[in-house]
Amino acid sequence: MSRKMKNKVLENLTIERIASEGKSVAHYNGKVVFVQQVAPGDVVDVRVRKAKSSFMEADAIKIHEYSKDRVEPFCKHFGVCGGCKWQHINYDLQLSYKRQQVIDQFERIAKTPIPEVMPIIGSQETQYYRNKMDFTFSNNRWLTREEIDSGETFERNALGFHIPKRFDKIVDIEHCYLQGNLSNDVRNALRDFALKNNISFFDMIQQNGVLRNLIIRTSSTGEIMVIVQFGEDQPEEIQKVMQFLADTFPNITSLLYIINLKKNETFHDQDIHVFQGRDYIIEGMEDLEFRIGPKSFYQTNSEQAYQLYKVAREFAELKGDEVVYDLYTGTGTIANFVAKKAKQVIGIEYVEEAIEDAKLNSKINKLDNTLFYAGDMKDILNDDFIQKHQQPDVIITDPPRAGMHEDVVNMLLKLEAPKIVYVSCNPATQARDVALLGEKYQVDKVQPVDMFPQTYHVENVVLLTLNS
């Protein structure tokens, strides 16, 4: 039965709601059908792409009725680039679906009573909110169906984003609404310069080509970092490209490049060359300054990161005499953000460079009550560690999407800190961990925050208090 459904067209399905991970849901003969790039209220014909015994995945091929909640997507690359998949849904509804996602995951997985989920904190900026963008050069531009059908020959060099699920195809981006306009100017000027000067774009199959990747980082202090990755060690061409950027954009405060001859674009293990300016930019938050190097992690929506950290700090209700553990501390941003209100903050994270940044950020901000340790959480947070340090009064934890390792959850249960503030970018794994913590903790507050407008992603902060 399942196999027979593949490629079948199902007519006049009404899209009912959006489920987890932004998938729109309809039903056909009682079976769930997940459809992409539609809105609740749409009536559509779909073609089945995947058919399993309990659900189907399908693509919309015709829209009979448009939902009243639809809005006109603002970006010409919508539907192709995969970056802002919810542009066609009005922002208020995006927010309500994000909040609902949290409610659904907790009801389904957390198996513990939760209080009413607070109204989600939306983002003031719903466009141009990112402080970091990463663009790829390719000599294999993604062509539209019309371009292919026209039989004409087109420029195949491109600078933009990977097409979802196609590592080798890049959509050439003319305007991206995720980062301020300087980012568009730099990207477009560099592409034009490279085309005019016949500088080669990277070939992902052959693994050659001079221009490989472009990263632009901005900060609320006005500082700008531009990193160009080259796929070949060609000093003359590198000089030409970098000098062009320096001359055309004198406001770049940190102009860097990397010669990356590896198979992939990751550069944590590569040397960074400073062409002009400093090798870091400064981000500000309240009265703190954070130094961000080319390899440092920093939350990509600075304003919403501030909202998120304020929620975490409020939930922690620090009075000044507490020992706080900040688990998965990254570059120690939360640890440093709460340090003035605590007796001591201990941050743990497995990326050693991030821990170095965290220490540096404490030093810059003259915070002398923080300690940072690098290591895998499940190994480092053990009885010895607790013996050497003080027992925590508050634990703030902000794990990656996979959530916390079971050993870490068990350690938290053993530690019995009076409060746990759990920050998460994945309510499903957060709810799973909360179910385990439910053995000793109750959920007191649940506060979703929107860090990524136009996407289904939602950040969620939960306050757990130890049962008396």
Ligand X SMILES: C[S@@+](CC[C@H](N)C(=O)[O-])C[C@H]1O[C@@H](n2cnc3c(N)ncnc32)[C@H](O)[C@@H]1O
CA dist 412 and 179 (Å) reads 38
Comparing CB distances to ligand X, the nearer of 21 and 379 is: 379
Q: Which is nearer to ligand X, 172 or 326 (CB)?
A: 326
Name which of 55 and 350 has its Cβ closer to ligand X. Answer: 350
Please identify, among the stretches 12-20, 171-179, 197-205, 393-401, the one whose residues bind ligand X according to the rule CB under 6 A.
Answer: 393-401
Site for ligand X in 323-342 (CB under 6 A): 328-331, 333-334
Of residues 144, 245, 253, 142, the one with CA closest to residue 194? 245
Q: Which of 237, 283, 322, 398 binds ligand X (CB under 6 A)?
A: 398
Least distance CB 347 / ligand X (angstroms): 9
**CA–CA gap between residue 330 and residue 352 (Å, rounded):** 9
Q: State the nearest-atom distance from the C-beta of 278 to ligand X, in Å.
A: 21
Min CB(241)–ligand X separation in Å: 31
Is 270 annotated among the ligand-binding residues? Answer: no
Cβ distance to ligand X smaller for residue 101 or 333: 333
Does the annotation flag 349 for ligand binding? yes
Burial of 290 (0-12, 13-18, 19+ CB in 10 A): buried
Question: How far is C-alpha 8 from the geometric centre of its chain's CA atoms?
Answer: 35
Q: Which part of the chain contacts ligand X (CB under 6 A), choosing from 87-95, 274-282, 396-404, 456-464?
A: 396-404
Tell me the residue nearest to ligand X as measured from the CB. 330
Task: Give strand pairing partners of 283.
Answer: 290
Look at strands 43-51 and 132-138 and give their pairing.
Answer: unpaired
List binders of ligand X among 418-437 (CB under 6 A). 425
Cβ atoms 257, 242 nearer than 8 A = yes
Nearer to ligand X, 49 or 389 (CB): 389
**Smallest distance from the beta carbon of 417 to ligand X, in angstroms?**
17
Give the up-direction half-sphere exposure of residue 410: CA atoms within 13 A in the CB hemisphere. Answer: 7
Whether 425 is catalytic? yes
Q: Does 377 bind ligand X (CB under 6 A)?
A: yes
Measured from the CB of residue 213, what is the shortest distance to ligand X in angstroms? 21
Of 223 and 349, which has the nearer Cβ to ligand X? 349
Q: How far is it, in rounded angstroms, from Cα 300 to Cα 129? A: 8
Q: How far apart, in Å, are the Cα atoms of 342 and each of 318, 368, 370, 395, 464? A: 6, 11, 9, 12, 19
Candidates 33-41, 49-57, 280-288, 346-354 — which segment interacts with ligand X by CB under 6 A? 346-354
Cβ atoms 428, 76 nearer than 8 A: no
Q: For the packed helices 235-248 and 181-196, what is the interaxial angle rounded to 10 degrees? A: 140
Question: With CB under 6 A as the contact rule, which of the stretches 11-19, 219-227, 239-247, 392-400 interacts with ligand X?
Answer: 392-400
The one among 185, 317, 376, 444 contacting ligand X by CB under 6 A: 376
- At its nearest, how many Å lie between ligand X and the CB of residue 163? 26
By CB under 6 A, the count of residues binding ligand X is: 18
In the set 248, 286, 400, 416, which binds ligand X (CB under 6 A)?
400
- Write out the two tokens for 82: 């995969």
Report H helices in 323-402.
333-338, 352-364, 377-380, 383-388
Question: For residues 35 and 15, is the Cβ–Cβ distance under 8 A?
Answer: yes
Give the strands of the sheet with 132-138, arranged side by side.
166-172, 158-163, 132-138, 211-218, 224-230, 254-259, 273-277
Kindly indicate which of the ranges 121-129, 184-192, 197-205, 397-405 contains the residues binding ligand X, using the contact rule CB under 6 A: 397-405
Q: What is the x/- site pattern for ligand X, positions 263-302, by CB under 6 A?
A: ----------------------------------x-x---
Closest contact distance (angstroms) between CB of 378 and ligand X is 6
Pairing of strands 211-218, 24-28: unpaired
Nearer to ligand X, 42 or 398 (CB): 398
Query: Sheet holding 459-466: strands in order across?
Result: 370-374, 344-349, 323-327, 394-397, 419-424, 459-466, 441-449
Which one, 244 or 297, has the nearer CB to ligand X?
A: 297
Q: Is 299 annotated as a binding residue?
A: yes
Report yes or no: 129 and 299 within 8 Å, Cβ to Cβ: no
Residue position matching structure tokens 């340790």: 373
Query: From the CB of 332, what's the least distance to ligand X, in Å?
Result: 8
Catalytic residue among 75, 84, 176, 425: 425
DSSP H/E element including 463: strand 459-466
Give binding residues as ranges. Answer: 299, 328, 349, 398
Residues serving a catalytic function are 425
Residues in contact with ligand X by CB under 6 A are 297, 299, 328-331, 333-334, 349-351, 354, 376-377, 398-400, 425
Annotated binding site for S-adenosyl-L-methionine: 299, 328, 349, 398
